[in-house]
Chain A
Amino acid sequence: MEVDITLRVDGEDRPLRVDTRTTLLDALRERLGVTAPKKGCDHGQCGSCTVLVNGRRATSCLTFAVAHEDDEVTTAAGLADGDRLHPVQQAFLDHDGYQCGFCTPGQICSAVGMLDELKKGWPSHATADLTGPVDADDDEIRERMSGNLCRCGAYAGIVAAIREAAR
């Protein structure tokens, strides 16, 4: 079955007709040519497909495109302000928080989303005090970024980049 929907991707309305079985990830990549989010596992286990849906991080392989009419979808391609990189993107460059780059767009979306979660004071498994504000310390960053695998093992750079961007 096919349905006409409009996705709002990186600030642009993108009307399209999709098979109801199409994931948000496949709609972005194979129908709209938005290839910043990557398919690493298609099971929500690796995080390479992470995008922001209305500002919150989501694994786009685990959600159907038809469920996202009217949602604001932001990929790593939509984070930069023209030629000016998002501070998280710049920090990834400065700290070499990537190697092959395949997981990187997902890592960066995830980092942007989780910095917002920190700002809102949402606790994690690594948070000692569940009631107070949450610091962007290394344990918090490591815990919150563990849904985004990096087989190149760039975790030291990723943590350093996010620590800097959190300042």
Chain B
Amino acid sequence: MIGLLHTRSIGADVERVDGRAKVTGAAAYAFDQPVENPAYLHPVRSAVARGRVTGLDTAAAEAADGVLAVLTHRNAPRLASTDDTELAVLQDDAVAFHGQFVAAVVAETPEAARRAAALVAVEYAGEPHDVVLSADRDDLYAAQEPEEHGDVDAAIAAAAVVHDATYTTPPEFNNPMEPHTSVAVWDDGGLTVYESTQGVHTVRPVLAEVFGLDPERVRVIARYVGGGFGSKGTVHANVVLAGLAARALPGRPVKFALTRQDMFRVAGYRTPTVQRVRLAADADGRLTAVEHDVVEQSARIKEFVEGCTKPTRGMYAAPNRRYRQRMATLDVPVTSWMRAPGECPGMFALESAMDEAAIACGLDPVEFRVRNDTRTDPDSGKPFSTRNLVACLREGARRFGWEGRDPAPGVRRDGDWLVGTGVAGSCYPVISDPGSAAVVRYGADGRYQVSIGAADIGTGAWTALTQIAADALRVPMDRIDLRIGDSALPRATVAGGSSGTTNWGTAVVEAARAFRDQHGVHPREGDEARGEMRENTAKEHYAMSAYGAQFAEVRVHAGTGEVRVQRMVGVFAVGRIVNARTARSQLLGGMVMGVSMALHEHGVRDPRFGHVVNHDLAEYHVAANADIGDMEAVWIEEEDPHVNPMGTKGIGEIGIVGAAAAIANAAHHATGVRVRDLPLTTDAFVR
């Protein structure tokens, strides 16, 4: 058991320490860096989805006003490593997806670069491409060996109730408001990059390897990051292209911002999924079997598997369980992390299926979930460190006013609107990774400099780490001078997997404890100590996960099929809350993205050309202000002594998990129409 930190600042409702800089526009994101004499890069993208570049005429571009360089695979600097094929930019003539970088212009101004990029003439030898996913393709391969516990077929044969249905989710694109941007400078044989990234220490080793540099010669800086939701958690081709251009123009800062359209080409996205779920239950509504069979796509140049069966493994008790995950390799851009990869689409399928199975069993959907709660992790057999799914369901039902709900679908009407309510469970594992370090140093100003190369992508890390440092050092928050977002600071893991506070916070606590051990409570200027996050050995004994329950009231227009989410209540059991103000925003933000997923988001890839046709924010709609009704996010008290010294479980992703299912379930309750294919567009409801 870990000694939980005594809290004073932790748990408070605290204004963000970076808030003033953000509301005045003073916070400098990557592209805002004031650099001397910048040059601007504009890329040329492939017009075919598969083939080779056979001709490149760059003469007109090179002759255009203000052009400094035109880079192609023929003249671009050679990379030291092309092992990561996504990052092997301009190294050969192969085209692996529509929109891939095939050339780039660097010029004195953004206008000149853009104009000259349009003057680069590219000829291709196109090859037949294949960009369409379906579950009945004959070339699917197993991403993992099919796994079975018990005997699912026998359980299904003996079950009182069997539910068997297939759910699909479309390609979804992260689209943080800040497109991926880089300002790269090659100087004295080293590379400095101001980057919009979820991890400066994630980017640094990758750039060092790709460019053949000693990691000490690479510096990555990201003090403010305009969102990421996973797309900035791994390094994509744009960073390497900026680095190549900087190398071609030593000493000259090269600025490269992806356009919004590029965000649909090279920044990663969530694979479409086809998920068959089979549930078997006995006459009392107890699950006897769970089966989750997933089909996804992966890019020809790099495999990425979205682990949709993960949440099914621990969510409900069922003695017989089977998981299968198969992939199609397609001529598409690289799929990657998007908020709660695996859990988010996986739980849309599972929690929709749970709603349908509850109805088939004649049970209330809250009661059905409560009845199938488990005290031990069904897969590993370990007890949970804490598990409060049932408490979330009960508290959510109370707050939402669930009691007395008429289960009959399609019978409530308010004017032209059909009204319904739905529920879904949420979960997200407590992810912890060792390796983050922090340094505490006592400054001349009587404040404690706390340094860690973490990233705040909007999560509130600037504030949360300040609170944690204050409590760990037992001083008020204003005595903490936090430094993050720079690879010159101690190593930190990526802002991903809802693990930032766990990993970085633990390192900060360890550094603070070491500091007090070594220097006491009356330190001298310059005293410092370092601490590291180590492996949490409690993981050997406990399964660790956060849980939640989401309730939605949905209205569907009887005439037009328009779907509105009138209100939502999310109740979460996520360990201790560090900052009540920012935590609420983060949980709500996940739920809002869940509304967006449920109602709007659908990237449409044209099978003829292989590109996403709705590649901007007008046609790939993400939830706007008027799409969002009354939203409430609350949490229940949960003290978990096993997760980390702060007692936190991570809150960045759980808000989106289950949200879309709650909405789809409510839409069914409103109309009697079960939509198993996201998003819930009007055509499904107009009959």
Contact = CB atoms under 8 A, between A and B. Distances in A.
Interface in B240-273: 257, 259-260
Most buried by B among A45, A77, A152: A152
Contacts of B20: 85, 93
B625 A155 contact: yes
B26 A98 contact: no
Given A93-B19, A100-B458, A153-B589, A40 B179 contact: yes
Contacts of A141: 625
A41 B260 contact: yes
Interface stretch (A52-60, A101-109, A129-137): A101-109
Contacts, number: 188
A159 B177 contact: no
B589 A99 contact: yes
B157 interface: no
A146 B227 contact: no
B12 to A, nearest CB: 13
Nearest to A100: B458
B109 interface: yes
A13 interface: no
A71 interface: no
A38 B29 contact: yes
A46 B259 CA distance: 13
Contacts of B53: none
A101 B582 contact: no
Contact of A46 (B177, B591, B628): B177
Contact of A19 (B109, B457, B460, B626): B109
B546 to A, nearest CB: 18
Contact of A45 (B21, B31, B260, B589): B260
A3 to B, nearest CB: 13
A85 B457 CA distance: 24
A19 B38 CA distance: 16
Contacts of A105: 23-25
B110 A26 contact: yes
B459 interface: yes
Nearest to B112: A19
A4 interface: no
B283 interface: no
Contacts of A104: 22-23, 25
Contacts of A108: 23
Interface string B577-600: 000011011101111110010000
A153 B177 contact: no
B588 A42 contact: no
A100 B227 contact: yes
Contacts of A77: 24-26
Interface in A80-139: 80, 85, 89-90, 92-94, 96, 98-105, 108, 126, 139
A12 interface: no
A149 interface: yes
Contacts of A26: 110-111
Contact of A153 (B22, B31, B457, B593): B593
A98 to B, nearest CB: 6
A21 interface: yes
Contacts of B40: 30
A36 B457 CA distance: 17
Contacts of A159: 625
Contact of B625 (A79, A100, A145): A145
A157 B19 CA distance: 13
B585 A76 contact: no
Contacts of A152: 177, 227, 458, 585, 589
B625 A148 contact: yes
Given A21-B111, A100-B227, A101-B224, A94 B625 contact: no
Most buried by B among A30, A36, A76, A101: A101
Contacts of B303: none
Interface stretch (B371-379, B413-421, B531-539, B616-624): B616-624
B637 interface: no
Contacts of A92: 19, 23
B226 A153 contact: no
B585 A99 contact: yes
A96 B585 contact: yes
A85 B24 contact: yes
B461 to A, nearest CB: 11
A102 to B, nearest CB: 3
A149 B460 contact: no
A96 B582 contact: yes
A155 B595 CA distance: 12
Contacts of B176: 100, 102, 151
Contacts of A37: 25
B39 to A, nearest CB: 11
Interface string B18-48: 1111111111110110100010100000000
A96 B582 CA distance: 7
Contacts of B459: 99
Nearest to A108: B23
Most buried by B among A26, A77, A94, A153: A153
A142 B629 CA distance: 9
Given A33-B34, A104-B23, A151 B622 contact: yes
A46 B227 CA distance: 14
Contacts of A150: 177, 625
Contact of A35 (B15, B25, B460, B623): B25
Interface string A7-24: 000000000000101100
A106 B670 CA distance: 37
A5 interface: no
A1 B580 CA distance: 53
Nearest to B627: A146
Contacts of B626: 126, 139, 142-143, 145-146
Contact of A76 (B23, B178, B259): B23
Contact of B628 (A36, A39, A156): A156
A33 B257 CA distance: 16
Contacts of A85: 20, 23-24
Interface in B195-227: 224-227
A138 to B, nearest CB: 8
B591 A153 contact: yes
A117 to B, nearest CB: 15
B177 A96 contact: no
Contacts of A103: 177, 226
9 contacts: A35-B28, A35-B29, A40-B177, A45-B616, A46-B260, A93-B19, A103-B177, A146-B626, A157-B585
Given A43-B618, A156-B588, A157-B585, 18 more contacts: A22-B109, A33-B34, A35-B25, A40-B260, A40-B617, A41-B260, A42-B260, A45-B617, A90-B23, A93-B19, A96-B15, A96-B585, A100-B177, A101-B22, A104-B22, A142-B626, A151-B593, A152-B227
Interface of A: 19, 21-22, 26, 29-30, 33, 35-43, 45-46, 48, 75-77, 79-80, 85, 89-90, 92-94, 96, 98-105, 108, 126, 139, 141-143, 145-159
